[in-house]
Structure 1
């Protein structure tokens, strides 16, 4: 996956980062960071009722062990995930379109095969009928001089 990201780094930055006006995000107040993460759908609550959210637990674990601000992890993880999701959706759409085209081509080929079989039977029938008719070239010639 890193290869895809490195190929499209400019696109990732232009479409996902620059458009969100996140300059100096790491220096913002915690509450403001959280507000922006919630706005973009990247925030995850650690507890959801009685259940622990596994994504939030993982982010908290990474943040605690690396001393990286967990909002930064959410932000980067969310943006990169969104980027990959769009890339996969695009590839999936291309594959679906190709599959649909193959299905259309297959139906066309089957139709042409059926039409060819009908034409072949008609041709064979005409050949058989032609063999049954006596033509003048197959009859005994008449001697006209006598």
Structure 2
């Protein structure tokens, strides 16, 4: 394993936003850096290219990431609603159509941010189970009860 000269950031939020491995905080986990290439939006390495941490710990591991994506989407919708209400304002009367502008802005915002939220939710979900280890070079990968053997075999083929 080659030595890296860059020091990983200790900031968890920064590493989540950069989609880096939660174990070493150096390796990029997605094969395509652009989340808007929709054919490859969720294409991840089977293991971290730097520390070899498996990314799919068990079959169906990322099912829980849907709940994280839902929470991110709700947070975006609420923040757009509050910002619209504070900056532009609207009422719920039949004569005020500004609520439709707020709804349109929310829908566009959600559609535009969905690929980013899908990636972020996977990284956040993985971060719940894999924790940062500043001594990952000497400690190695932790033991898991179930590591997806199919994902690991296909990772070794490449």
The structure showing larger relative contact order (alpha-carbon pairs under 8 Å, at least 6 residues apart) is 2
Q: Specify the structure having the higher radius of gyration (Cα).
A: 1
TM-score by length of 1: 0.31
Structure with the higher helix share, 1 or 2: 1
